[in-house]
Amino acid sequence: MSAFRTVGARTLAEEAFLRVERTTLTTPAGDVVKRVVIAHPGAVALVPVLDGDVFLIEQHRAPIGEDLLEIPAGKLDIPGEDRREAAGRELAEEVGFSAGRLDHLTDLITTPGFCDEVISIYRATDLVEVPTAPVGAEEEHATIVRMPLAEAIALVHDGLIRDAKTIVGLVLAAGP
């Protein structure tokens, strides 16, 4: 059990769904330290699997100025939103499927050095086609890519898939 204690937090800025906070902690030695924390509402991601193939999204990511190949994902849009329901919504929006089965693979802590984001990752199977409903410019201009799961894993090992949630989701979906 950690002997660090949060004794205060002050919001420095809010933009869209993120909040920047200055958090005050006491250490086990009794020292007071301050840290900047990005508060994130959380997210979900899915590895949609159909007949041994996975569906990925190639979309632009402004923070790094590149297009990335990723598993479908999205933030929790409503405070307290059920993660499984959000996963189903994102699956339909981004790749046009509904899942008969969602298996929880992990809860990924993305960047604990400065952000509290947790992404719940699921494997989606028993897929049924539904209309897509892209949200935002990046999704509207994204490309859905279908490929064998083994090929996606090879792209991870070749360094061509670099997104953390995608690497974790694909490796866990492929199994040991």
Q: Tokens in use for 129? A: 């086609």
CA distances from 22 to 11, 30, 38, 112, 115 (A): 6, 19, 9, 15, 12
Of the residues 93, 129, 138, 139, which is catalytic?
138
In this prediction, residues 72-99 reach a mean pLDDT of 93
The contacts of residue 34 (CB under 8 Å, 6+ apart) are 22, 23, 24, 25
What is the bridge-based pairing of β-strands 43-50 and 73-75? antiparallel
Cα gap 134→142, rounded to integer Å: 9
User: Is the pLDDT confidence value at 57 over 80?
Assistant: yes
CATH of domain 43-174: 3.90.79.10
| pTM for this entry | 0.92
Residues of the chain with CATH 3.90.79.10: 43-174
| pLDDT one-digit tens code per residue, 145-172 | 999 999 999 999 999 999 999 999 999 9
Respond yes or no: is residue 129 known to be catalytic.
no
In this prediction, residues 130-134 reach a mean pLDDT of 85
Q: Tell me, what's the pLDDT at 1?
A: 65
User: Is the pLDDT confidence value at 134 over 90?
Assistant: no
